[in-house]
Amino acid sequence: MNRLLTLLFLFFSVGGWAQELLTGMQTNPLVRQHYLERQQQGRLNSGNDTLPVNLPFFDDFSYDSIYPTSRLWIDNYTFVNTDIPVYPPNRGAVTLDAVDETGMMYSNAEPGPTPFIADHLTSRYIRLDSLSGPIPRKITAADSVYLSFYYQPQGRSRNYPLKQDSLRLRFLVTPAHDSIPAVWKNVWSTIGMSLDTFRYYNNEKYFVQVMIPITDTLLFFKKTFRFQFYNYVNFAVSPEYSWQSNCAQWNIDNVYLNIGRNMNDTVRSEIRFMDRAPSMLKNYESMPYPQYTAAPEQEMADSVSVIFNNRDVNIRNCRYSYKVTNSPGTFTKTYNSPNFNLLPVYTSGPFTLHPAVPWFYPITQADSAVFQMHHYIKDNASGSGLGDTVSRDQNMFNYFAYDDGTPEASYGLTPAGSMLAYRFNLNKPDTLRAIQMYFNYVLNNSSTLYFFLCVWSDDVGTPGDTIYSRLTVPKHAYPLHQFVTYHIPALPVSGTIYVGWIQTTADNLNLGFDTYNDHSDQIFYNTSGHWYNSAYSGSLMIRPIVGKPIPLGVEEPGTSAPELEVYPNPCNSGILHLRYNMRGTSSAEGCTITITNLLGQTLLSAKYTESLNLARLKQGIYILYITDRYGHRDAMKKIIITP
């Protein structure tokens, strides 16, 4: 198989513009999937637009949801998540960007110098005219009403808001009525910048709190008070559609509106986890259970990291614990930390604890397992209810995964001929059955981007011999938020293997890239004849499947295509023979044969014939297409010309 690599480099220029590409995404697959599910269930209505809510108004977006809760908000344009915000006040925040409530980019997201309004986060009506209770009373300016929130630009997203972008807040003055539009008053805004710049200007804080007094009783002290966050986006786009992407992310957290506040009312007595529950595996988010049990001492983490903060102004004496169980209840492991003092986050920043993992998951003959993990932090003070819990499952099925299943960016290489390899270490010999890949959806991309799906052996820490190669195309599994499974013939593997691709074009293949988990030390790319580690922090969304034979899931692209045979292949006689079965019929009337090189340049185009003279083609690798009478490409084969 090394001959394949030699022939590829005969055809590609290794100079010029050669690099890794990491871009934003053109869709939000989590939102898209959620939208389609709600659409199918007839649950697309958002919050009640007329029934007001009472004070206090508070949302920390720490719930498991995609859209903001309809109990407080009336629209679904924004995205509740833990993927994009970096160290929010509590786990989770809401993100504004250039993707709408359907998970697709806004229709007015067009190139140009003029920014456009993208996302909205709009509260329900709020009773700012009176207080409910045993004795209702009118709210006045003397009640000292404040709205506060935390915000952060960019987060973990690839593209930060530019200075032409902005995040804004406005208050409703007059509701819309019949054909008369609503009247709003802008009360706050900030311009775009990177997270690094934001932290530089704000004493290394990841989120900054904003305090806004509401004093105009005539305009705002009504039962129809409402506020709205929205963002302006300046949409810059590459001429290549495969590089067009979402941008200008802003994260908002802890939105709080109430009476009896002042400019110094910035403290909320809480003890909260700031991040997700970690994997207890040293190397993977998930791995095949038999591979784990073959060497548990190599795969189990010695300790994990948990991050939390004390948002009170006082030191809190706390205790931390975790509990790990399986579904049958036959396995339980616990950890209890000594008591410790948790300093206020305002003066000491987030606190990181490293609890030990001095045990193994059970060693059994099972093919799979699922373990539930729960982490707890509690205040030791008598009668205190301060504390928090985060949970997750550790899945041990038949695949290796460095990623968490959610892409925040798109990864690619250029030019044509570039190679991408992802390293996986096996603890015992096994059989590679399939490779799962997650390609991000690309708007307006009608072209077919062929690539060679490859598996390499190890050569002292970098990819070595090619042990599998097949020409294929990227596919996007419905409803977008899924991996595509490329089934391969049973391939015995052992030790270290590399899974990836060789490109046939300079286009960005837009592989899903998880920026939350950093395994860049396992990613290798080759654009010039040498292998290098990736410069980008994150994980590729590629998952090798090993073990027993697997049922066919999502079909590999091309499995339903018409049958095309070419021989001899490799061809050294100059004459190539074809046998083409056009969707169950032997008729190829009106069909065309096209042969291109791996750069996509057409070298031959002729009416279909069962014999082709290829004597004028040089040694190398080519793509042969059959195009039907309607101009649709129906079949494709890789052909190799040898001396």
pLDDT given for residue 473 in this prediction: 86
pLDDT given for residue 550 in this prediction: 77
How many angstroms separate the CA atoms of 586 and 588, rounded? Answer: 6
More confident residue, 180 or 113: 180
Judged by DSSP in three states, 290 sits in: helix
How many angstroms separate the CA atoms of 508 and 445, rounded? Answer: 11
Look up the CATH architecture of domain 29-258.
Sandwich (2.60)
Judged by DSSP in three states, 520 sits in: helix
* Mean pLDDT of the residues in the chain: 88
Q: Is the pLDDT of residue 381 over 80?
A: yes
Q: Is the pLDDT of residue 584 over 50?
A: no
Of the candidate ranges 245-254, 290-299, 339-348, 484-493, the one whose mean pLDDT is the lowest: 245-254
Whether residue 643 is preceded by a cis peptide bond, meaning omega within 30 degrees of 0, is no
2-22+407-546: CATH topology is: Jelly Rolls (2.60.120)
How many angstroms separate the CA atoms of 81 and 477, rounded? Answer: 22
> Could you tell me how far CA 60 lies from the centroid of its own chain?
22
Look up the CATH architecture of domain 563-641.
Sandwich (2.60)
- Residues 206/175, Cβ–Cβ less than 8 Å: no
Judged by DSSP in three states, 8 sits in: helix
Of the candidate ranges 103-107, 322-326, 499-503, the one whose mean pLDDT is the lowest: 103-107
Once rounded to an integer, what is the mean pLDDT over residues 262-273?
94
How many angstroms separate the CA atoms of 28 and 407, rounded? Answer: 9
Handedness of CA 236, 241, 244, 246 (dihedral sign): positive
Beta strands in 484-607 (DSSP E): 484-493, 496-503, 511-514, 523-526, 532-533, 539-540, 542-546, 563-567, 575-581, 592-596, 602-607
Ranges of each domain in the chain: 2-22+407-546, 29-258, 271-396, 563-641
Q: 450 pLDDT band (50/70/90 cuts)?
A: confident
How is 100-125 classified by DSSP, letter by letter? -TTSBB-TT--SSSS-EEEEEEEBPP
Q: Do 2-22+407-546 and 29-258 share a fold?
A: yes
Of the candidate ranges 202-211, 521-530, 543-552, the one whose mean pLDDT is the lowest: 543-552
Burial of 640 (0-12, 13-18, 19+ CB in 10 A): middle
Structural tokens at position 238: 């590459």
Q: Is the pLDDT of residue 348 over 80?
A: yes
Q: Is the pLDDT of residue 477 over 50?
A: yes
- Residues 442/432, Cβ–Cβ less than 8 Å: no
Judged by DSSP in three states, 580 sits in: strand
The CATH class for the domain spanning 271-396 reads mainly beta
More confident residue, 296 or 12: 296
Which residues is 435 bridged to in the sheet?
Answer: 486, 544
pLDDT given for residue 555 in this prediction: 43
Of the candidate ranges 8-12, 27-31, 171-175, 243-247, the one whose mean pLDDT is the lowest: 8-12
Cα separations (Å) of 343 from 273, 313, 316, 346, 636? 14, 8, 7, 9, 64
Q: 15 pLDDT band (50/70/90 cuts)?
A: very low
Give this prediction's pTM.
0.83
Q: Is the pLDDT of residue 81 over 60?
A: yes
Structural tokens at position 416: 């044509």
How many angstroms separate the CA atoms of 637 and 643, rounded? Answer: 20
